[in-house]
Amino acid sequence: MMSEERSNGDSPNVIALPPLIYAAGFGAGWLLQWLAPIRVAWGRPGEIWGLGFAILSGLLALWARQTMARAGTNVDPRKPVTAIVTGGPFRFTRNPLYVSLALLVAGVALRFEIPWALVMLAPTLLVVRNGVILREERYLAAKFGAAYLDYQKRVRRWV
């Protein structure tokens, strides 16, 4: 059943929830690692960097979600956006939650020595860009006009 938000057109109409896209990319990398292993010996540095990326991912995600909640807008990209969020991590990247998911994938891949998951991160980011971010940007530009376009000029898409 379609949600009211989707049926009334007030959403960016993303192809899938971003966490599912990242999970699919990671899953494909894990499967490739199992089918055609790439042997690496990152050892302790890989564990440390992986853990660091995972922790950074969690902190960034919490900061972004709290910032969006304070602004009173929806985190779910299938629902209407009620405000342009420009504070917190949104001062540095227009997509801190997607950056945090990329950091999480990289962190787990490093920590557990799954190099295919790192390789699959590139196509995953392309899917997120084309199937989620570009749709969100068109939606926000149409909904908020010059205010969003000005923000878009000031703040980078990723980092």
pLDDT of residue 8: 54
The answer to whether residue 8 is domain-embedded is no
In 3D space, the residue among 131, 128, 124 whose CA is nearest the CA of residue 108 turns out to be 124
The answer to whether residue 11 is domain-embedded is no
The answer to whether residue 12 is domain-embedded is no
Q: How many CB atoms lie within 10 A of CB 95?
A: 24
Provide mean pLDDT across the span 60-87: 96
Provide mean pLDDT across the span 32-44: 95
pLDDT for 116 beyond 60: yes
Beta carbons of 80 and 7 less than 8 angstroms apart: no
What string of DSSP letters covers 26-45? HHHHHHHHHHS------HHH
The answer to whether residue 7 is domain-embedded is no
One-letter identity of residue 102:
A
One-letter identity of residue 83:
A
**Number of domains, the chain:** 1
The answer to whether residue 2 is domain-embedded is no
**Residue 67 domain boundaries:** 18-33+40-154
The string of pLDDT tens digits covering residues 57-73 is 999 999 999 999 999 99
Number of residues that make up the chain: 159
The answer to whether residue 1 is domain-embedded is no
In the block, residue with structure tokens 């089918």: 35
The answer to whether residue 64 is domain-embedded is yes
Beta carbons of 116 and 33 less than 8 angstroms apart: yes
CA dihedral 4, 8, 13, 16 (to 10 degrees): 10
The answer to whether residue 97 is domain-embedded is yes
In the block, residue with structure tokens 């980011």: 125
Beta carbons of 86 and 151 less than 8 angstroms apart: yes
CA distances, 77 to each of 7, 31, 125, 131 (Å): 14, 28, 16, 12
pLDDT for 4 beyond 60: no
